[in-house]
Chain A
Amino acid sequence: MLTRRDFHKTLAAVALTSLATGKTAKANIAPFNNLVLNRLTFGANAQSHTEIETLGVREWVEQQLSLPAEDDDLTTRLNAIRLLIEYEEGRSENDKPWDAVSEYRALQYLQTDPADLLHFLDFDEPFDFGERERPAAEVIAASLTRAVHAPAQLREVMTQFWHEHFSVNAMKDEVTAIFFPSYDALMRTHAFGNFRVLLGEVARAPSMLAYLNNDSSRASPANENFARELLELHTLGQENYFNDLYDDWKAVPGALNGVAEGYVDQDVYEVARALTGWSIGDGRETDEGTYSPETGQFAYVESWHDPYQKRILGQEFSANSAPMEDGDRVLDMLAAHPGTARFVTRKMLCRLGIEDPSTAYHDLVAEVFHKQRNAPDQIAQTLRAIIFHDEFSTTPAKKLRRPFEYLTAIYRTSGSEISPRSDAFHWMLKQAGWSQHRVNPPTGHSDDSADWANTATINGMVKLALECHAEWFEADTGTLRTPPKGVSNFGQLAAYWERRYNTADGALDPVLTALDVESDSALWDDGEDLEWISSGMIAALSLTPEFMFR
């Protein structure tokens, strides 16, 4: 007699054969529209399908560029988050006690004036470190909800882009942590704005100042950490670093005509000098008996500034300029530099799915960025130049979704309700190689697909696909535990997920077999069992090239 197991094995073989012969995919959406959504959002979903099919690509993009950062529904969702905070009792440095805490607490710092958080910097105050880094933890939790649910998807994609471009480890210490909500707001506010304005805000942002130590940089010798990354990561890029010339500034092409094409180590040292005194208004002692104001903002410490003459990118800076003039002039030069236009637009193209643009395409985009350098919507104009170009539509979907994008795309496709309750999602992403807002080196995450094509990331994605709806994961609010509307048996459930994934009828037949269920059997009542079945279907549909590449 055929055992139940053998019977299913036979079925699986049949189903796999039918999969191989290739049934036609359901044409829910024009392929190009789907590609656009997958490049410009955290994953195409049912709602965005409808929007783009109704509006057309151009109008849809314009709508995305005009949507405000905040939205009532999103605010409601952020307000509904209850994020775990848990620590043991302890004592401050001057022996004041605090009690143990374990509770699911609402987010309270996303909009708080940083001046009101300065007490977290005082280690005489009785706070566990969990309280001190809570503002950063809140941003990280909110970033998942925003990526999945924000209507202004393109703004969220660009917010994440700028976070990676101006990468800060939010959890480096209590200073980066308490200022991280305002840092996050900066990226979102200026996501489509002007690069020079954004650059100026970043150079004055306490999170960045603390992360790359410029807050302690004073004459003399200056601390070079921020200056180097400003040149290498934020503006001119490694491609414009003439490393072999070191201090021979005259040898850099263009330097003698006043516009050096790139930088040498000596420029790093000089930029560091130009930025001495750019610090934080957190009440720190700057000179004996003198303290920076407790504003929770940028603060300039004149007595720390190196006022003497400098030469940067071939240009002379005279001594004793006005407060902050040296630094602002450096930022002006860098933001207006054609090398910066090329470097930044290359990264933008890459982020939006074009890893290997033709020179002509890249030139055109870089030119828009450079020409519009004084426009308030410089970045939006650059995005249009990228998106409304033939090569954007003719470039095949060959960019691998990175772990965070993969997770959010699964959630958006499955239509899940996301409200993170702990940082379990962070630890799972970490196994796949992703640390949301917590990368240690200032390079941030790689955006090159090849760097993610490895066993750790792939297996991490398998785990994410299987586990991301589980209760312990504490992100999904239980979407999969009730059957979708009109679904009463397993065959219908499979059809439901096939439709959501825009894939062929019968693609899930082998899964039904492996799960040992008949397609006309009624769904089980138990929510956990149902979640388990749907998770299996989602994992199978998520582990395909069609889903993993955009």
Chain B
Amino acid sequence: MAKDPILVVLFLRGGADGLNLIAPSGDTDYIAARPPFLRVVRKGDDAGHLLSHQVADVDFRFHSQAGELAELFEAKELAVIHAAGLTDGTRSHFDAEDRMERAANGTNAGGWLGRWLNGAGLEGELPALAVGTSAPESTRGSSDVAVAEQMEQLIIAADHDLSPLLRKRLRAGFGSHDLLGAPIERLITLSQTLETRLLNPETGELGPYRPSVDYPEENTLSEPLRTVAQAIKLDLGMRVATVDFGGWDTHMDQSGDFADQTATLSSALMAFWRDLGEAREHTCVVVMSEFGRRLRSNSSGGTDHGFGNAMMVLGGTVDGGKMLGEWPGLVNDALDDGADLAITTDYRHVLGEVMNKHMAAQDLNAIFPDFTHQPRGVFG
């Protein structure tokens, strides 16, 4: 029997500089607007990885530290949609993240994943996992979401004698409590299951998760993605996972920080993808950020908040190895407000296609209300 499809949303918080991640390295306006250390170059040790399929004749390259992303692209598992984003002009992180993750006007409740979860009426023990210590706005409105940095953090007082009593009290004390009732119920249920699955019945000790590949060490994204892989392999009915990866707000001395962030993203994502094994066939990863950054750099060696950005979709059934969408160019007249990369693909076109083709959601209007969906060919 075919496995249910799984969606992983990896959100790069802070506004990742798409013009430094997947860059039009041969574009003369690009070269003129930034010093070499804030762009992807074509020659030398730091030369970027050329994409074998281009959306425009400007020599698009992945950042030199994104070797694994280039590999996934060339293996036709990764698709790139450039000049994508949120078309409501906002250059505030928090406003942009909220708008993107709600993906609807004020009259529609919750976030886009929350609306899908509510419509899907999933019955698994773990329909959705938000990796971290709080759930993102995109899952707002759904009570199907568990929040944890690691799976074992969903076990209540694993090694404590009072654990059964505390559980009983939590259940009795909060029952239908309007705020805590639902998360406590989910915590208690998951705790019971995970105890039998993760703890050694003899010693009560936690059996570590053994991934099928080594994740990169000293990499802040390794643990969150390992948690997602473990959750998938535990087979608890998880359909959606969210991972937040911060640190992309590079207003100052961007060069070194951005290279590190990119290496972290690229190497951890590759490890995760390999770790999944056969689950790759029914898993899809979307990589997105709230906005891109200004074409021209500032005087602190950084870039300020911009507009259009690159999105990436990784999946076993993705028609990868392609750049999709339209490239608006970087000449002054083509820029948004004369300063930023313009948006030619509303981010909802990409998410909608993933929800429809991968997650088999039929009613896209329920997820992205008042929006006319046009697939970009992510799945061919």
Instruction: Establish whether residues A219 and B299, one from each chain, have CB atoms under 8 Å apart when the complex forms.
Output: yes
Chain B facing A: main interface SS = loop
Instruction: Establish whether residues A454 and B92, one from each chain, have CB atoms under 8 Å apart when the complex forms.
Output: no
CB distance from B218 to the nearest CB of A (A): 15
Q: A456's contact among B88, B132, B249, by CB below 8 Å, is which? A: B132
When distances are taken between beta carbons in the complex, the residues of chain B under 8 Å from A462 are: 156-157, 166, 170
Of residues 319 through 354 on chain A, the ones whose CB sits less than 8 Å from some CB of chain B are none
Report if B247 contacts A (CB, 8 A): yes
**Quick one: CB contact mask for B152-189 with A, threshold 8 Å, 1 for yes?**
01111100111011101110111001011001101100
Instruction: Establish whether residues B299 and A220, one from each chain, have CB atoms under 8 Å apart when the complex forms.
Output: yes
Instruction: Establish whether residues A246 and B89, one from each chain, have CB atoms under 8 Å apart when the complex forms.
Output: yes
When distances are taken between beta carbons in the complex, the residues of chain A under 8 Å from B187 are: 455, 458-459
Instruction: Establish whether residues B134 and A446, one from each chain, have CB atoms under 8 Å apart when the complex forms.
Output: yes
**Quick one: CB contact mask for B76-110 with A, threshold 8 Å, 1 for yes?**
00000000000011111111000000000000000
When distances are taken between beta carbons in the complex, the residues of chain B under 8 Å from A432 are: 133
Chain A facing B: main interface SS = helix
Instruction: Establish whether residues A224 and B133, one from each chain, have CB atoms under 8 Å apart when the complex forms.
Output: no
Instruction: Establish whether residues B156 and A241, one from each chain, have CB atoms under 8 Å apart when the complex forms.
Output: no
When distances are taken between beta carbons in the complex, the residues of chain B under 8 Å from A454 are: 130, 133-135, 145-147, 183
Instruction: Establish whether residues B246 and A440, one from each chain, have CB atoms under 8 Å apart when the complex forms.
Output: yes
Instruction: Establish whether residues A455 and B296, one from each chain, have CB atoms under 8 Å apart when the complex forms.
Output: no
When distances are taken between beta carbons in the complex, the residues of chain A under 8 Å from B153 are: 431, 456, 459-460
Instruction: Establish whether residues B169 and A459, one from each chain, have CB atoms under 8 Å apart when the complex forms.
Output: no
For residue A457, which residue of chain B has the nearest CB?
A: B133
Interface residue tally for chain A (C-beta within 8 Å) = 59
Instruction: Establish whether residues B94 and A238, one from each chain, have CB atoms under 8 Å apart when the complex forms.
Output: yes
Segment from A308-316, A365-373, A483-491, A535-543 that makes contact with B = A535-543
When distances are taken between beta carbons in the complex, the residues of chain B under 8 Å from A398 are: 179
Q: A451's contact among B94, B134, B298, by CB below 8 Å, is which? A: B134
When distances are taken between beta carbons in the complex, the residues of chain B under 8 Å from A510 are: 165, 168-169
Instruction: Establish whether residues B134 and A466, one from each chain, have CB atoms under 8 Å apart when the complex forms.
Output: no
Which of A450, A458, A544 gathers most chain B CB within 10 Å?
A458
Instruction: Establish whether residues B177 and A225, one from each chain, have CB atoms under 8 Å apart when the complex forms.
Output: no
Q: A514's contact among B148, B165, B186, B191, by CB below 8 Å, is which? A: B165
Report if B300 contacts A (CB, 8 A): yes
Report if B286 contacts A (CB, 8 A): no
Instruction: Establish whether residues A213 and B92, one from each chain, have CB atoms under 8 Å apart when the complex forms.
Output: no
CB distance from B286 to the nearest CB of A (A): 21
Q: B147's contact among A247, A268, A455, A514, by CB below 8 Å, is which? A: A455
When distances are taken between beta carbons in the complex, the residues of chain B under 8 Å from A446 are: 134
Report if A6 contacts B (CB, 8 A): no
Q: A213-B251, A222-B299, A241-B90 are in contact. List 13 more A-B contacts (CB 8 A).
A: A216-B299, A217-B300, A218-B300, A223-B252, A238-B94, A243-B91, A247-B337, A456-B132, A456-B134, A459-B154, A539-B166, A543-B166, A545-B180
CB<8 Å pairs between A and B, sample of 22: A212-B251, A218-B299, A220-B299, A221-B296, A221-B297, A222-B298, A223-B251, A223-B302, A228-B92, A241-B92, A441-B13, A454-B135, A456-B149, A458-B184, A466-B157, A510-B165, A514-B161, A536-B162, A539-B166, A540-B165, A543-B166, A545-B174
Closest A-B pairs by Cβ, 9 of them: A433-B133, A243-B90, A454-B147, A514-B165, A225-B251, A456-B147, A216-B300, A213-B252, A224-B304
